[in-house]
Amino acid sequence: MDPTALKTKAESWLAHDVDANTRAEVTALLKANDLAGLEDRFATGLEFGTAGLRGVLGAGPNRMNRAVVLRTTAGLARYLKAKVPDVATRGVVVCRDGRKLSEEFTVDVAQVLAAEGIPALVFPELGPTPLCAFALLHLKAAAAVMVTASHNPPEYNGYKVYWSNGAQIVPPHDGGIAAAIDAVEAADAVKVMPQAEARKKNLWRDIGPEVERAYLDAILALRPWKKTADLRIVYTAMHGVGGKLVTKSMAEAGFSNFFPVEKQQQPDGNFPTVKFPNPEEKGAMDLATALAEEKKADLVLANDPDADRLAAMARDAGGKLRMLTGNELGVLLGHYLLSQKSVPRPLVITTIVSSAQLKALAAGMGASYEETLTGFKWIANRALELLPSGQQFIFGYEEALGYTVGTVARDKDGIGAALVVADMAASCKARGTTLLGYLEEVQRAHGLFVAKQANFTLPGSSGAAVIGQVMQAFRGSAPTTVGDLTVVAVNDYQAQTRKQGSASSALALPKSNVLAYELDGGSRVTVRPSGTEPKIKFYFELRETLTAGEPMPAARARAQAKLDAMETNFLQQARTRGLP
Q: In the predicted model, what is the mean pLDDT of residues 464-472?
A: 95
Q: What is the DSSP letter of 435?
A: H
Query: Annotated catalytic residue: which of 150, 164, 354, 512?
Result: 150
- Same CATH fold assignment for domains 215-446 and 448-575: no
C-alpha distances in Å from residue 557, one per residue of 314, 340, 434, 448, 450: 19, 31, 20, 11, 10
Cα–Cα distance measured from residue 134 to residue 393, given in angstroms and rounded to the nearest whole number: 16
The CATH number assigned to the domain with range 215-446 reads 3.40.120.10
Largest CA distance in the chain: 73
Name the residue among 238, 160, 178 with its Cα closest to residue 412. 160
How many of the other CB atoms lie within 10 Å of CB of 253?
21
pLDDT at 297 over 80: yes
How many of the other CB atoms lie within 10 Å of CB of 412?
30
Q: Among 42-56, 179-193, 402-416, which stretch is predicted with the lowest mean pLDDT?
A: 42-56
Cα–Cα distance measured from residue 144 to residue 385, given in angstroms and rounded to the nearest whole number: 20
Q: In the predicted model, what is the mean pLDDT of residues 450-463?
A: 91
Is there a contact between 285 and 323 (Cβ–Cβ < 8 Å)?
yes
Asked if 505 is an active-site residue, the reply is: no
pLDDT bin (cut points 50, 70, 90) of residue 259 is: very high
pLDDT of residue 502: 87
Q: Which residues contact 250 (CB under 8 A, 6 or more apart)?
A: 233, 235, 258, 418, 419, 422
Q: What percent of the chain has pLDDT over 70?
A: 99
pLDDT of residue 396: 98
Cα–Cα distance measured from residue 422 to residue 407, given in angstroms and rounded to the nearest whole number: 19
pTM of the model: 0.94
For the chain, the domains span 3-207, 215-446, 448-575
pLDDT at 144 over 90: yes
**Model pLDDT for residues 61-90, shown as the tens digit of each residue:** 999 999 999 999 999 999 999 999 999 999
∠ CA(250), CA(255), CA(260), 5° rounding? Answer: 65
Q: How many CA atoms lie within 13 A of 474 on its CB side?
A: 30
Q: In the predicted model, what is the mean pLDDT of residues 293-312?
A: 98
Here the contacts of 334-337 (C-beta below 8 Å, separation 24 or greater) are: 334/358, 334/361, 334/362, 334/395, 334/397, 335/361, 335/365, 335/442, 335/446, 336/224, 336/420, 336/424, 336/427, 336/438, 337/224, 337/394, 337/395, 337/405, 337/420
CATH superfamily ID and name for 448-575: Alpha-D-phosphohexomutase, C-terminal domain (3.30.310.50)
The CATH number assigned to the domain with range 3-207 reads 3.40.120.10
In 3-state terms, what secondary structure has residue 504?
A: strand
pLDDT at 462 over 90: no
Is there a contact between 167 and 377 (Cβ–Cβ < 8 Å)?
yes
**Model pLDDT for residues 383-441, shown as the tens digit of each residue:** 999 999 999 999 999 999 999 999 999 999 999 999 999 999 999 999 999 999 999 99
Summary mean pLDDT of the chain: 95
Is there a contact between 304 and 240 (Cβ–Cβ < 8 Å)?
yes
Judging by beta carbons within 10 Å of its beta carbon (0-12, 13-18, 19+), is residue 508 exposed, middle or buried?
exposed
pLDDT at 50 over 70: no
**Model pLDDT for residues 522-555, shown as the tens digit of each residue:** 999 999 998 777 899 999 999 998 888 889 999 9
Q: What percent of the chain has pLDDT over 90?
A: 92
